[in-house]
Amino acid sequence: MTLNPSGWRPEAPQGGTADAPTFTGNRALMLEEPLIFEIGATDTTGVDFALTPAANGSRLAGLERAAPIGLPGLSEPEAVRHYTRLSRQNYAIDLGLFPLGSCTMKHNPRLNEKVARMPGFADVHPLQPVDTVQGALEVINELAVWLIALTGMHGVAMTPKAGAHGELCGILCIKAALEARGEGHRKVILVPESAHGTNPATAAFAGYAVEDIPATAEGRVDLAALKARLGPDVAAVMITNPNTCGLFERDMKAISDAVHAVGGYVYCDGANFNAIVGRVRPGDLGIDAMHINLHKTFSTPHGGGGPGSGPVVLSEALSPYGPLPFTARMADGHVRLIEEENAGEEHPHSFGRMTAFHGQMGMFTRALTYILSHGADGLRQVAEDAVLNANYILRSLEGTLDAPFAAAGPCMHEAIFSDAGLAEGFSTIDIAKALIDEGYHPMTMYFPLVVHGAMLIEPTETESKATLDQFIGALKSVAERAKAGDPALKSAPHFAPRRRLDETLAARKPVLVWKEPTLAEAAE
């Protein structure tokens, strides 16, 4: 394929619409952007001059590149424009409502960013001498104290770097506690159907056999079925609460008591803590370990794979096994970092480390800023408003879309709908793709698995009523079209840079390396 150095390809798809085609493939400010390899050629570079020989031969002492490495050469404006154009094709919480259920995509207050950028926090290095980072340790410790107070637990491991990483940390604590009791033979972890997918993955990764516990027709854990399965081979249960159907597990205390009675531990997936912060303390429900996604409940930005932070709060029974390092306030008022060298007598049973250093400092700073700026009463209102917004969505749409658990009462932080009642041949994906045309990121689709064609919507507390009303209007309009069988919906999105990609193929067989097309391919 011969490429014009400017990146414009004579064979680029015609842009615009049938009655208003464009020469460039662009549609006004929506720019058609080729791959960087298609813009720059490997044999061009931004520098035109031949290299001047160094005075004493080569400065690279024999380390010169022997063969080209195949990277495209671009001028600086070309490179800057390429990445800026791509970045404008992103959807972001700063652009509009992000209805992804289970993800708690809320506004991130700019105050968090201001504090995180203060040089004393932003430039701190984990290998600095401890006496030069007292302020950073103070922040980690203060956040730990808040998390313990908000959850009513005994201790907290701050180092895990995401929710799923926190799950692993909690399960490794449980494993260490069982081994210390001489009960390492307990090999089963029970996971209800309404749990998040990371829960069974974590249990399996830690070497446990995973067994399902069914959900009731109401979308909650079947307590009788759980009790019937408990026994001396059960190491733990992992329960998501509020669960992925957006419902609070009301039997949580009874579940914990039953699991403890047979010698097991209770892991709670606390990623949905946003719905209950300030209203319920997991410690009062008999939970032994629970991760908190700072990047959900406490607003630090997330998406696209990071950054995250998943501290794990621990019961008194599990705290001795928590990972190193951690912070502790000493009698003299200073915060000390407890590491392998000094853990000896104070923390001899730790299962080890989760990370090289102390956790995600940038997330700690943001989360503590968020907590302090809301205060205890403000955090409680966060939960109340998040639940109110979700119920507003549920009640506004239940007449249009099938809402499988709506009759069971109010939901928590997210509303769930199914694809029942759409026209023959139409399903959740058609609604999701049409929402892209309406300018929204789609909701979470086909999850949780207990609901056919699930659509899970979590508005969070940071959206105004006007924003919710516009979203509800868009979803209603799209849903009515899917119920009426509007054929245009089957080929949505019509206004996105690309239409329907083969997402399964992309996930199963990702093409991660660009290869120069052969002559035959280029001629196609």
Ligand X SMILES: *Cc1c(COP(=O)(O)O)cnc(C)c1O
Summarize as ranges the residues that interact with ligand X (CB under 6 A). Answer: 102, 162-164, 196, 198, 240, 269, 271-272, 293, 308, 310
Report the nearest approach of ligand X to the CB of residue 524 (Å).
40
**Neighbour-count burial of 513, counting CB atoms closer than 10 A to its CB (0-12 exposed, 13-18 middle, 19+ buried):** exposed
Look up residue 266 and give its DSSP letter: E
CA distance 353 to 169: 9
| Cβ nearer to ligand X, comparing 298 with 426 | 298
Report the nearest approach of ligand X to the CB of residue 20 (Å).
42
Report the nearest approach of ligand X to the CB of residue 506 (Å).
20
Cβ pair 240, 194 in contact under 8 A: yes
Q: Residue with the closest Cβ to ligand X? A: 163
First to last CA, the chain: 10
What DSSP letter does each residue of 278-326 carry, written as one string? TT--GGGGT-SEEE--HHHHT-----TT------EEE-TTTGGGPPBPE
The tokens describing 392, both together, are 């507003």
The tokens describing 132, both together, are 């030069």
**Neighbour-count burial of 152, counting CB atoms closer than 10 A to its CB (0-12 exposed, 13-18 middle, 19+ buried):** middle
| Cβ nearer to ligand X, comparing 82 with 291 | 291
Cβ pair 32, 16 in contact under 8 A: no
Residues 170-204 as b/e (b if ≥16 CB within 10 A, e otherwise) read bbbbbbbbbeeeeeeebebbbbbbbbbebbbebbe
Report the nearest approach of ligand X to the CB of residue 119 (Å).
28
Report the nearest approach of ligand X to the CB of residue 158 (Å).
15
| Cβ nearer to ligand X, comparing 102 with 151 | 102
| Cβ nearer to ligand X, comparing 241 with 462 | 241
| Cβ nearer to ligand X, comparing 272 with 428 | 272
CA distance 274 to 278: 9
| Cβ nearer to ligand X, comparing 290 with 434 | 290
Report the nearest approach of ligand X to the CB of residue 167 (Å).
7
| Cβ nearer to ligand X, comparing 168 with 468 | 168
| Cβ nearer to ligand X, comparing 248 with 426 | 248
Report the nearest approach of ligand X to the CB of residue 102 (Å).
4
- φ/ψ of 320, rounded to 5, equals -60, -20
| Cβ nearer to ligand X, comparing 74 with 191 | 191
| Cβ nearer to ligand X, comparing 221 with 335 | 221
Which residues, in sequence order, are bridge partners of residue 17?
Answer: 20
CA distance 115 to 142: 15
Cβ pair 361, 303 in contact under 8 A: no
Strands 155-157 and 312-314 come out as antiparallel
Report the nearest approach of ligand X to the CB of residue 294 (Å).
9
Report the nearest approach of ligand X to the CB of residue 443 (Å).
14
Cβ pair 102, 271 in contact under 8 A: yes
Report the nearest approach of ligand X to the CB of residue 251 (Å).
18
Cα–Cα nearest to 351, from 343, 361, 360, 359: 343
